[in-house]
Amino acid sequence: MARLFGTDGVRGLANRDITAELALDLSVAAAHVLAEVGEFQGHRPVAVVGRDPRASGEFLSAATVAGLASAGVDVRDAGVLPTPAIAFLVAEQEADLGAMLSASHNPMPDNGIKFFARGGHKLADELEDRIEKRLRADWERPVGTGVGRITPFVDGADRYVAHLLGVLPHRLEGLHVVIDAANGAAAVVAPAAFEAAGARVTVIGADPNGENINEDCGSTHIGGLQQAVVAAGADVGIALDGDADRCLAVDADGRLVDGDQIMAILAVALKDAGRLRHDTLVATVMSNLGMIRALDEHGITVLQTAVGDRYVLEGMNEGGYSLGGEQSGHVVMLDHGTTGDGTLTGLMLAARMAATGRSLAELAAIMSHFPQVLVNVPDVDKARLESSTVVSDAVTAAENELGDTGRVLLRKSGTEPVVRVMVEAADEQQATEVAHRLVGVVQAELAL
């Protein structure tokens, strides 16, 4: 049986895969498991719950709150707020757990639930497995004053914005910023934070109606922001996703600035300030070789992990590093938060522009992208990828051909029956040729 929890909580089609019953049962099980491991010892437990604005979040949040309260947990309902805001509030309020109802950048019909432990940290795999095993188990229900109480967290948004402003190293006066809030959870707080930081702000994608989250807007549909930045003559555009844990950017000419470029800019900024611990950035194996080469010239090491923000976080925590992230724009700054924060990332990027007086295009020129060819190979037995000597020999031959001017990565998709073939090279034609040669080997050797 497949594991219920994925790399970022439990996610699926709302009211089919993610039902009110499941949200309630997961919340009860989470409360029981965290009680068993000593999270609630000696006091009455408190939880912070939030959601993004998709319509299904209304009933799923209600079910989650009900489940926690029925298990004896007092709930502070923060309503619509970004995922990183809920993680921050769990830590700031010294709450015992948090819950966020969101499917992030997924389309509106999807939804999901993720839990945070004390301090605003994502749950370890072992705790998620225990929660899954406890689903719908018999339990003794509290009665009378033992049941949890539910109160609105009325100043949660204000506290989060104050936190963002409090860690900002430079104000943003003189900058014109366009924010695309993806009709999502940061539609109010992101513009408020940038305006309070001194920027002139133009906002698009900030009219959520429960149905339009991520729809032709935000970090997964960057075209609207590119047009808006150029039309407004703005200095920078910031694109968030539905729960605002990601950030991509657009320069004044409408060119995309991706997560690798953002991480490179922030890594150098932190090193200049003496805040980049161990002079190391943690990124995934999908980050562009151009970023790695550029940061090496600045004396910064790039530690690469498996794909997924949870693996980036594991690498950061294990090594005591302060900055990490993904090419997708999921950037983690552990000195200021426990998870990716798109609004914080955008603020830090704009602050670097303001502090240096340089345009985003100038800052992004710190690195040149190596041509990167990515091909998904369907209808193959991905389970045999590591054991095939023919495939591994082909990869070795390709790596020898590219030498130190490129690299090869073959990996199994975590969610689809495909093998992903990625090749980088200094020359795009060579990258394409090598990639399609490897695709042919994979198709022939791993055919179903």
Chain centroid, CA 368 distance in Å: 24
Q: Is 219 annotated as catalytic?
A: no
Establish whether 241 is an annotated binding residue.
yes
Q: Which of 104, 219, 322, 328 is catalytic?
A: 104
Establish whether 125 is an annotated binding residue.
no
Establish whether 219 is an annotated binding residue.
no
Establish whether 335 is an annotated binding residue.
no
Catalytic residues: 104
* Binding site as annotated, residues: 104, 241, 243, 245
* Binding site as annotated, residues for Mg(2+): 104, 241, 243, 245
